Chains A and B, each alone.
Chain A
Amino acid sequence: MAIVTHSRKSAAVNPLKMSQPIGAALAFMGLRGCMPLLHGSQGCTSFGLVLFVRHFKEAIPMQTTAMSEVATVLGGFENVEQAVLNIVNRTKPEIIGIASTGVTETKGDDVEGFIRLIRQRHPELKDFPLVYVSTPDFTGAFQDGWEKAVTNLVRELVRKPENAARKDMKAVNVLPGSHLTPGDIEELRTIIEDFGLEPTFLPDIGQSLDGHIPDDFTPTTIGGVGVEEVAAMGNAGWTIAVGAQMRAAAEAMQEKTGVPYRLFEKLCGLEAGDELIAFLTEISGRPAPTKYRRQRGQLIDAMLDGHFHIGGRKLAIGAEPDMLYDIGSLLHDMGAQIEAAVTTTQSPVLEKLETQEVVIGDLEDLETLAKERACDLLVTHAHGRQAAERLKIPFHRMGIPTFDRIGAAHEVSVGYRGARDLIFKIANLIIAHREANAHVTPDTWRYPWGELAGAEENGAAIATPVTH
């Protein structure tokens, strides 16, 4: 049970955190035919765009209201109006998702008012889906932007069911957190469908950012959940929310439509998988398919094989709250000690993490703690690469951005199979690192109790006496 502390520095060094507006933009990208639009300077969009292009290795639809200094001072109505009209004319989207930024929030632009005015002035846009979310850069983090965007999508797009009694009990809503990859969403879709249920994901980056070769090319998102499908989510029997960040959206859904929800704070690991399968068994009234019974066995076997390598490792992990809790818990269950945990923003799951302290800070904090506490496994996004090089410890890349490896969209950690493969990956990383770096020589054990100062210089520290 952890205490949550804040890093008290004036200069953040090597940020772990990314900003709210691009978290919102990614959520919008899970809608079909969508153009995310950031209301700010063009740099606000271009940095996010480049980040996603490097992560997904895909063309990314993202636009800007291109606020100049003058427009910022005078207010951005004209820019928002022009941007919406240009996007509608040029790219024929099905929906535009608008997120504010630090610039326009500091000015205090009333974007909701702008949208009302745009609808008045352009009657053809009266019913066009324009969903706005307020996401100043100077509060919260990526995950918060995602959370707010999804919550607003539920509020704005989901229709109130006309007859609450005519529910489609086969239909299940899934509200995935920003920590799930397109691969995770595909896996989850398969699992839910295997129980005879019909899931609708909001947002569904599993269909838009999975790197497929589309049949039809559009300048907006290619694939994702359609506006009409979202509207119909109110008829579903259940909502599954993944990650504590999705509680607000699930509650908004329940409030609006009466669809009850079940929140899964974790989906990686044996217990988390069991809970999911038990829940799906319950709501579908079907027994778990044989496939999952076998997969559960495989996961247990992987845990047994993997514990030799992961057990006793001192873990330094930096991730947004929901990923931190999900993946940190898996590795804790495998016998790793969470010695250093750094995250980006507040969340109720932080204090549940099996460690002493969770720091809301940056990668310098993580690196410093990892060094002090002699950590020998690092898990964070690709920006951890410089720290890993200096610390000389095995490094597993996880989360956005992962710009220096390919296939980030297809990494899977959910379900029995996801957990099984993740365990293999991390264990293999540890094995490879040991093989490359730990060479036992007669001198390794010459001063086992460390009584001779300078033993390290003799090379004794090269191999860790605790080898698995």
Chain B
Amino acid sequence: MSVSSKIQDVFNEPGCSKNANKSAKDKKKGCTKALQPGGAAGGCAFDGAKIALQPFADVAHLVHGPIACEGNSWDNRGSASSGPTLWRTSFTTDMTEQDVVFGGEKKLFKACKEIIEKYDPPAIFVYQTCVPAMIGDDIGAVCKAASQKFGKPVIPVNVPGFVGPKNLGNKLAGEALLDYVIGTVEPEYTTPYDINIIGEFNLAGEFWQVKPLLDELGIRILSCISGDGRYNEVASSHRARATMMVCSKAMINVARKMEERYGIPFFEGSFYGIEDTSDSLKELARLLIERGADPELMDRVNALCEREEKRAYAAIAKLKPRVQGKKVLLITGGVKSWSVVAALMEAGFEMVGTSVKKSTREDKERIKELMGQDAHLIEDMKPRDMYKMLRDARADIMLSGGRSQFVALKATMPWLDINQERHQCYMGYVGMVNLVKEIDRTLSNPVWKKVRKPAPWAKVGDSWQERALAQIAQEQAELAADPAKAEEVRRAKAVCMCKGVTLGAIEDAIRGGAATTEAVKEKTAASGGCGACAVRIQEILDQGAIVGQPTQQINVAAE
């Protein structure tokens, strides 16, 4: 299958609820955001494929392309391996001008030979990048020839960066596993307790906070795709009885197609948060029992969950006096926000900035989406606005993804990373206790008081914080005095971050007759990317009466 038809196939993912909600036209466009030149910040498809597959620890990962793709990026993943280190060895064909002119296929073949001779891995994954794709290097043919010649699986992963963003790369990586790897090896033995975990990358080794629990229950991880994974495990993963898809929909195509081909049922679960961990363990047990495991498994799972929950809450209760009443501003869509919220509230933290109440499932969904949207917003935020936001929210600490790190720190605000770049382990029961401890450690650090002290030459009222606030106040005053300008600013606020659609454009669309979210999407291209702003659009619709005026009237007023 060519890359383009593969991409179409991947986009047509019935297992994805976001996809199922899209119109036929949107479905065809797929989940690829139309990237904005000069306004994009994410990785490419190749990056995504590498993230998804590189944690296979015993495989040689060979990047076919010029030095940029691998030389600028290698050994930058926080996954952990319990054994082989080959995944951290970097291999690239380092294409030169000569290769670009004459073609890189021979070099790629020779590279496979060198790697097998020197490192003897169970398999090589060959990643296609933009330049060889442009000059027509057929990595499929080279991999086939190399597999035959050397008697080793050499797997083509066809992911030139320019075909799309990271999440597409995740899926294309999954397709490579489905096409060439899964089902090619039979496991030595099977048990009714064999499971696959998909989409778990064992960052900082945090999955090992959960694995002992599975071991205790006698549940065997036949294959983890791909954290601490091994080639032969994933190759024989078609014999598992159940699949847990962790957290993200990044590799939903793998889970669904394995269900289709091998009858392995899957569910989407999470090991972040105390309740979520229990829920996931119970769901795993339920699926296994359905497929023939002894029903007593559920009793043991229930007992284990009860025991671990008790221990976790007891540990959190001990920390309670230290953190009670401290205010946390949580901005993330990455980690399952709701799980974190529940654990933090249990510890006595107060959540600010978002209206978080323990209530219905829809509320939870809404909070998640709102937080996802805010995480987007914060990337564009100026430090002084962030400082003001934290001040206005009277927050003591901000939890967010790595991207806002430097902005938060420059605003001398306590900050903790709770997305994927972190080095701390927050998974499982013990992970939530770790999170509370980390927040306490950050909050109780005297460093914040020290770094906020004014310099000896500073004049009263002249610190950057005070100047920032004054500046913001002045700008607001100017806007208050100039309604036309204020309206312009109000309308210019971006609602859809992916496509850069403003509030004004959405209001115009509504005024133009769009009465549903769908109609607004159709008219403005909003919500065509991550979909997180659909909630906002609904809110704007719900407000009914439009506050602002159409653009033309403003222009007239301004004149």
Interface string of A73-100 (1 = CB under 8 A from B): 0000011101111110010000000000
Asked whether B67 lies within 8 Å of A48 as measured between CB atoms, the reply is no
A152 interface hit (Cβ, 8 Å): no
Q: Are B95's CB and A138's CB within 8 A?
A: yes
A10 interface neighbour in B71, B73, B93, B163, Cβ under 8 Å: B93
Interface status of A386 (Cβ within 8 A of chain B) = yes
Instruction: Report which of B43, B76, B113 forms a contact with A403, defined as CB distance below 8 A.
Output: B76
Chain A nearest CB from B35 CB (Å) reads 4
Which of B13-21, B83-91, B513-521 contacts the other chain? B83-91
Chain B, 292-317, CB within 8 A of any chain A CB: none
Interface string of A12-41 (1 = CB under 8 A from B): 111101110110000000000000010011
Q: Once bound together, how far apart are the Cα atoms of A85 and B37, in whole Å?
A: 9
Is B461's beta carbon under 8 Å from chain A?
no
Are B68 and A69 neighbours in the complex by a CB distance under 8 Å? no
Encoded as 1 (CB less than 8 Å from any B CB) or 0, chain A from 132 to 151 comes to 00001111010000000000
Contacts of A21 in B (CB 8 A): 68
Number of A interface residues at 8 Å Cβ cutoff, please give it.
67
A46 touches B42 (CB 8 A): yes
For A44, the chain B residues whose CB sits under 8 A away are 44, 68, 161
CA distance A226 to B74 in the complex (A): 34
Q: Are B162 and A67 in contact (CB under 8 A)?
A: yes
Is A102 interfacial (CB-CB < 8 Å)? yes
Pairwise interchain contact A86-B44, C-beta atoms closer than 8 A: no
Residues of B97-122 whose CB lies within 8 A of A: 97, 99-100, 107-108, 110-115, 118
Interchain CA distance A147-B31 in the complex, whole Å? 40
Asked if B547 is an interface residue, CB under 8 A from chain A, the answer is no
How far, in angstroms, from A50 to B73 measured CA to CA in the complex? Answer: 8
By a CB distance below 8 angstroms, the chain A residues around B43 are: 42-43, 46-47
Say yes or no: A11 contacts B47, CB within 8 Å.
Answer: no
Q: Mark B455-480, 1 if CB is under 8 A from A, else 0.
A: 00000000010010000000000000
The verdict on A65 contacting B96 (CB below 8 Å), with A11-B114, A59-B406, A217-B383 known, is: no
Contact A15 to B160, CB < 8 A, known contacts A51-B72, A106-B134 = no
Instruction: Give the residues in chain A near B47, CB-CB below 8 Å.
Output: 43, 46-47
Pair B38/A63 contact, Cβ less than 8 Å = yes
Bound: A71/B37 CA distance, A: 11
Given contacts A106-B100, A136-B97, are A69 and B37 in contact (CB under 8 A)?
no
Q: In chain B, residues 58-77, which have Cβ atoms closer than 8 Å to a Cβ of chain A?
A: 62, 65-76
Alpha-carbon distance between A171 and B163 when the two chains are bound, in angstroms:
50
- Contact partner of B97 (CB less than 8 A), chosen from A71, A72, A138, is A138
A74 to chain B, nearest CB (A): 12
Q: Are B100 and A69 in contact (CB under 8 A)?
A: no
Contact, CB under 8 Å: A19 / B67: yes
Per-position binary interface string of chain B over residues 379-391, scored 1 when its CB falls under 8 Å from any chain A CB and 0 otherwise = 0001110000000
CB-CB under 8 A for A102 and B68, given A10-B110, A65-B37: yes
Given A54-B76, A107-B134 in contact, is the A17-B38 Cβ separation under 8 Å?
Answer: no
Q: Is B1 an interface residue (CB 8 A)?
A: no
Kindly supply a per-residue 1/0 record for chain A positions 176-217, scoring 1 wherever the CB is within 8 Å of any chain B CB and 0 otherwise.
000000000000000000000000000000000000011101
A120 lies within 8 A of chain B by Cβ: no
Is A139 within 8 A of B97, CB to CB? yes
Partner of A18, one of B37, B67, B111: B67
Residue in contact with A103 in the complex, picked from B67, B114, B134, CB distance below 8 Å: B134
User: Number of A-B pairs whose CB atoms are under 8 Å?
Assistant: 206
Q: B480-493 vs A: 1/0 string, CB under 8 Å?
A: 00000000000000
Contacts of B85 in A (CB 8 A): 386
Closest Cβ of chain A to B515, distance in Å, is 32
Residue tally, chain B, CB below 8 Å to A = 68
CA separation between A10 and B93, bound complex, in Å? 6
Q: Which residues of B contact A72 (CB under 8 A)?
A: 130, 134, 162
Residues of B within 8 A of A48 (CB): 68, 72
- Asked if B447 CB lies within 8 Å of chain A CBs, one says no
CA distance in complex: A68, B134 (Å): 12
A46 CA to B165 CA, complexed, in Å:
11
Q: Does A66 contact B (CB under 8 A)?
A: yes
Are A102 and B131 closer than 8 Å at their CB atoms? yes
In the assembled complex, B410 has its CB within 8 A of some CB on chain A: yes
CA distance A107 to B162 in the complex (A): 13
- The minimal Cβ–Cβ distance linking A20 to chain B, given in whole angstroms, is 8
| A9 interface contact, C-beta 8 A | yes
Q: How many Å lie between the Cα of A283 and that of B73 in the bound state?
A: 44
Residues of B within 8 A of A257 (CB): none
Chain B, residue nearest A215 (CB): B464
| B546 contacts the other chain (CB 8 A) | no
User: With an 8 A cutoff between CB atoms, is B446 at the interface?
Assistant: no
Determine if A64 is an interface residue (Cβ-Cβ < 8 Å).
yes
Residues of the B chain whose Cβ atoms lie less than 8 Å from the Cβ of A47: 43, 47, 68-69, 72-73
Inter-chain contact B161/A138, CB cutoff 8 Å: no
Given A17-B67, A106-B131, 14 more contacts at CB 8 Å? A11-B62, A12-B93, A12-B94, A17-B71, A19-B68, A22-B72, A41-B161, A63-B39, A69-B133, A138-B67, A138-B99, A139-B96, A383-B90, A386-B89
Residues on B lying within 8 angstroms of A by beta carbon are 35-47, 62, 65-76, 85, 88-97, 99-100, 107-108, 110-115, 118, 130-131, 133-135, 160-165, 382-384, 406-407, 410, 412, 464, 467
A-B CB proximity, top 6 nearest: A43-B44, A83-B38, A86-B38, A11-B111, A83-B37, A10-B110
A-B contact pairs, 18 of them (CB 8 A): A10-B113, A11-B62, A12-B90, A17-B67, A37-B38, A43-B47, A43-B69, A45-B40, A48-B68, A63-B38, A63-B39, A69-B133, A103-B162, A141-B67, A215-B467, A362-B94, A383-B75, A386-B75
